[in-house]
């Protein structure tokens, strides 16, 4: 895996961030950062919101279950693309994991208000295109695409 670089805010269309598994103190910092980037780029509120939500749900999953992960954000004129790749236990049964209410959360995670088993479902709901793949004992990859409505010429 190539090293991730936290890119400065300018006209760059690609950004990468690291997530540390188990670090609940910092959980959410990437999503907050991404929200800020997308807002500064002047994207519509709805697009910013949906992107932040899917990133946040995925970020919490990585912190909750994986050893570490990388977030790659790509912004084009057509879409916001967020890819998360983690190293961790992976998901043995993706279909089951996608079910609302299915959760493998620990007590600690539940006491924090997570672990209701809605995360992947929420991610899918808010994305226009959602891809998930996983390998047990290796890790999980998510890709979310949120399309930016195109201005039609008058």
Cβ proximity to other proteins: between 5 and 29 the closer is 29
Q: Does 25 bind other proteins (CB under 8 A)?
A: yes
Give the binding range for other proteins (CB under 8 A) out of 8-16, 76-84, 111-119, 133-141. 111-119
Give the binding range for other proteins (CB under 8 A) out of 15-23, 67-75, 79-87, 108-116. 108-116
**Residue 121: burial class (beta carbons within 10 Å; 0-12, 13-18, 19+):** middle
Give the binding range for other proteins (CB under 8 A) out of 5-13, 20-28, 69-77, 133-141. 20-28
Q: Does 27 bind other proteins (CB under 8 A)?
A: yes
3-state SS class at 122: helix
Phi and psi of 132, rounded to 5°?
A: -140, 135
Q: What is the rounded CA–CA span in Å between residue 5 and residue 71? A: 10
């Amino acid at each position: 895996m190539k090293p991730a670089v936290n890119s400065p805010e300018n006209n760059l269309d690609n950004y990468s961030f690291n997530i540390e598994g188990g670090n609940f103190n910092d959980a959410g910092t990437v999503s907050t950062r991404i929200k800020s980037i997308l807002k500064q780029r002047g994207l519509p509120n709805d697009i910013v919101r949906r992107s932040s939500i899917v990133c946040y749900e995925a970020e919490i999953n990585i912190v909750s279950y994986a050893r570490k992960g990388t977030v790659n954000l790509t912004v084009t004129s057509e879409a916001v693309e967020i890819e998360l790749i983690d190293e961790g236990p992976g998901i043995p049964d993706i279909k089951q994991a996608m079910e609302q209410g299915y959760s493998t959360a620990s007590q600690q995670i539940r006491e924090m208000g997570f672990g209701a088993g809605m995360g992947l479902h929420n991610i899918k709901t808010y994305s226009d295109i959602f891809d998930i793949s996983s390998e047990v004992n290796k890790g999980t990859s998510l890709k979310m695409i949120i399309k930016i409505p195109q201005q039609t010429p008058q």
